[in-house]
Structure 1
Amino acid sequence: MTNMSNLPRKIAEEILSRVPVKCLRAVRLTCKKWNTLSKDMRFITKHVDRAKQEAAKKKEFMLIMMINFRVYLMHVNVHNNVGPCMRCEGKFTSLDELVDINRVFLSDGLLLSISKDCTKLMAWNPYSGKSRWIEFESSPDLMEIYMYALGYEKSNDSCNSYKILRFVENRSCFEYKIYDFNYDSWRVLDISLYDKIYKIAHHKRGVSLKGNTYWFGKSRYGSDVFLVCFDFTSESFGPPLSLPFEYSSASSVLSLSRVREEQLAVMLLRFGEFTMDIWITTRIEPSAVSWNSEVFLAVNLRQVPFNGIRFEGASFFIDEEESFVVVFDNNSIAYIVGVDGTIKKEYFKLSKRLCCPIACSYVPSLVL
């Protein structure tokens, strides 16, 4: 019998490229030869392409989800009529499995993880297995209120330069620093408090799109709420960008997501009417935005008996072509909502939740 680890490289590469992502760690632990092969750029490219093709064939969509201080790869298939719409493909493993992850950010297939105690920072590509610990200095009193964003500086040679933004905005400290992967170092950005007419809410998570990061911002001199963008190429914040509706923080909840790698989507949940509306941009740039003239989804949530629904801080995933939205609340429940108003409720099939679920669409890449 032929030893599998001694197969010719071409045959081994073809066989292992068909292995599901959840089994890649086992492949790498089998032998040194397979570990080296699985991290080869040609193999990773083939594996990524095959994963995309299989997902498209099954009309499945991949999500990154953080549950129980770990990161999972989820598959969503709303056309599945015989079983759950969501299934766990596997847990992504990082360099140190003993470190609990409190927050995770995604840009172009690259993940930025912040440890539960906010003392460790790591960038990693779960598909290639490559990772990098990033050292930083900060005051212990400010650890938990630092905000982060991951993005890249666009380049004409298609080799993007990845960067991390870390900042804090409060009465005791106003600081912006950026980390450049190319130089493995931090530097202070020259941003003045008086240059920004808005502030970014600490509890609002940014969304990365086309290398930049977008948040909800609030005027420092009023109650206006809008979108704001940090441009990683110019290393600066853009002007306030308008929302497609009137917003009142006293009676509504906002959440931000992206549609593929092209547009942004914003969800508005009105407590008074108990309705949920989702709008999609037609154009989005650091200094300009335009919105579709028609709402993508408008649904009355009273039609379904929601018990203890908690959408504050919820995340959502949208598929424009298939006309559905998956909303994750803070009770470990996913709501699959169609533009026709149909709603299906599904519980996460994972371990006990110890932190709020964070979900975003995921497309494997070869960065880092």
Structure 2
Amino acid sequence: MEDDKFFLPHEIIFSILKRLPVKSLLRFRCVCKDWNDLFKTSLFIKEYLHHSSHHRGPSLLLQWDYSIFGMLDSDKKTFLPLRAPSVNQPAYMIDIIGSSYGLVCLQIKVGGSLFLWNPATREVQYVPRSKNTRWYQICHIGFGFSRVVNDYKIVRTYYYLKRVEVEVYSLSTGSWKQLEFGNLLEGVSLHGRFAATDEAIYWFAYLNDIVILSFDMATEAITLIPAGPNIHWNVKLMAYENKLALLSGMKLWVMEETTSGGFGQRWNKTKLILNLPSVHSMTIWKNEVIYKCEPVGLYLFNLTTNKLKFLIPWEYGRLMSAFNYVESLVSIGKKNSWTSS
């Protein structure tokens, strides 16, 4: 009877554990077999990721000069250097391609090898090369997670015989496949970095005019979308409130879905934002635009209050990239994987 005083129902234990940092959960694996097994279940992993994404909020993953990784937590109070992933390469040879729901896609600068990395668990997995003999061609790579099919995907596009070719790596299958689009991508060329929402990966493209190439991660279909008003190559593609957004000078345009299953041509100008020649936008973090100002530091511009706030000083060299990041227990598989030392 004495032990009953300290008994907690399974549902309450579950609810408590999903609110803890991954670092704590990894230590708690040795508490008992039930907890160790629980942390590996798809239900707990899914619930943990949902809570981390919607309640704890994203951290900011930063890369400085291809050599220093860091994490700024969601309450904006602590910046911590992050141990670089162990991929048998020096840190300055690693480039971050993208971050999505707890996993990060990396690329080695020389040779182009790809890796998937979970910074919270420190697992790293080598992404095998496809059998495509044109792997070494200049390409554009996108990375994202589809809630519809519950899968992480790497999309690789390259230019061959006057058209864009596309191949996709799926984490669930651990393999690449070549996609066929007939003449849809003939004469199309891609430009710049990608942006990703829960549904699709986007690039700027050119086909007689500037357009946006949309890759639906669930259906693996491609759509060419009109780029909207007054778009030029200096405009940045971003994700804002899980919608595609364009940051153009002082304007933030957000694309609204106007028809079921497809995109209309309606862009909403939602904000008038900062326009200073000495600063450069990096990403949108929750409801704030991250700006870098060399050699001073990082700033936050709040899209609701229209106020600019200093974030962190410039101490680590040149900032290369910034990404939203949420902790997860998502496993990247045992094959070709290991834990960073």
Q: Is 2:253 the partner of 1:279? A: yes
Equivalences for residues 111-190 of structure 1 within 5 A: 111-136=104-129, 143=136, 145-151=138-144, 155=148, 160-169=150-159, 175-190=165-180
Report if aligned partners of 1:205, 1:215 keep a CA contact under 8 Å in 2. yes
Task: Name the residue aligned to 1:4.
Answer: none
Structure with greater contact order relative to length (CA < 8 Å, sep ≥ 6): 2
- Return 5+ residue gaps in structure 1 as ranges: 1-9, 78-84, 270-275
Partner residue in 2 for 1:236: 221
**Aligned twin of 1:105:** 98
Q: Would you say the 8 A contact 1:316–1:326 is kept in 2?
A: yes
1:73 aligns to what?
71
Q: Equivalent residue of 2:173, what SS?
A: coil
Would you say the 8 A contact 2:59–2:325 is kept in 1? yes
Match of 2:302 in 1: 338
Report the residue type matching 1:351 in the other structure.
Answer: Y
How far is the alpha carbon of 1:128 from its aligned partner? 4.5
CA distance in 2 between partners of 1:99 and 1:216 (Å): 32
Counterpart residue type for residue 266 of structure 1: L
8 Å contact 2:155–2:167 — kept in the other structure?
Answer: yes
Q: 1:348–1:30: structure 2 CA closer, same or farther, 3 Å change rule?
A: farther
- Name the structure 1 match of 2:290: 326
Equivalent position amino acid for 1:111 in 2: V
Name the counterpart of 2:316.
351
Q: Which residue of 1 aligns with 2:200?
A: 212
Aligned counterparts of 2:80 and 2:20: Cα–Cα separation in 1: 12
Alpha-carbon shift at residue 229 of structure 1 (Å): 0.4
Aligned-pair identity (%): 16
One-letter identity of the residue aligned with 1:190: E
- Map of 1:80 onto structure 2: none
Name the SS for the 1:205 alignment partner.
Answer: strand
- Cα separation, partners in 2 of 1:358 and 1:44, compared to 1, 3 Å: same
Do 2:291 and 2:298's aligned partners in 1 also have CA atoms closer than 8 Å?
A: yes
Q: Which residue of 2 aligns with 1:225?
A: 210
Contact 1:200-1:218 at 8 Å conserved across structures: yes
Partner Cα distance (1:52, 1:186) in 2: 28
Offset, 1:123: 1.8
CA distance in 2, matches of 1:144, 1:102: 18
Q: Is residue 60 of structure 2 the alignment partner of residue 63 of structure 1?
A: yes
- 1:190-221: CA deviations, max 9, x gaps? 245663453211xx1111212420112222x3
Equivalent pair of 1:103/1:116 in contact (CA under 8 Å): no
Letter in 1 for 2:117: W
CA drift at 1:108: 3.1
| 1:234-273, Cα deviation, whole Å (9 max, x unpaired) | 3232022332x31344xxx211221243x2222112xxxx
Using the alignment, how far apart are the partners of 2:28 and 2:86 within structure 1?
Answer: 14
The 3 A distance-change label for structure 1 pair 292 and 178 is closer
Q: Which runs of 5+ in 2 are unaligned?
A: 1-9, 333-341
Q: CA deviation at 1:30?
A: 9.8
Aligned residues: 317
Indicate if the aligned counterparts of 1:28 and 1:38 stay in contact, CA closer than 8 A: no
Is the 2:48–2:329 contact (alpha carbons within 8 Å) kept by the matching residues of 1?
no
SS of 2:235's equivalent in the other structure is strand
1:7 corresponds in structure 2 to none
3-state SS of paired residue (1:214): strand
Contact 1:66 1:104 in 2 (8 A): no
Q: Which amino acid aligns with 2:301?
A: V
TM-score calculated relative to the size of structure 1: 0.66
In the alignment, residue 116 of structure 1 is paired with which amino acid? K
Give me the TM-score of the superposition, normalised by structure 2.
Answer: 0.70
Contact 2:253 2:267 in 1 (8 A): yes
User: CA–CA distance in 2 between the matches of 1:284 and 1:131?
Assistant: 40
The CA distance in 2 between the partners of 1:196 and 1:335, in whole Å, is: 41
| SS of the residue 2:78 aligns to | strand
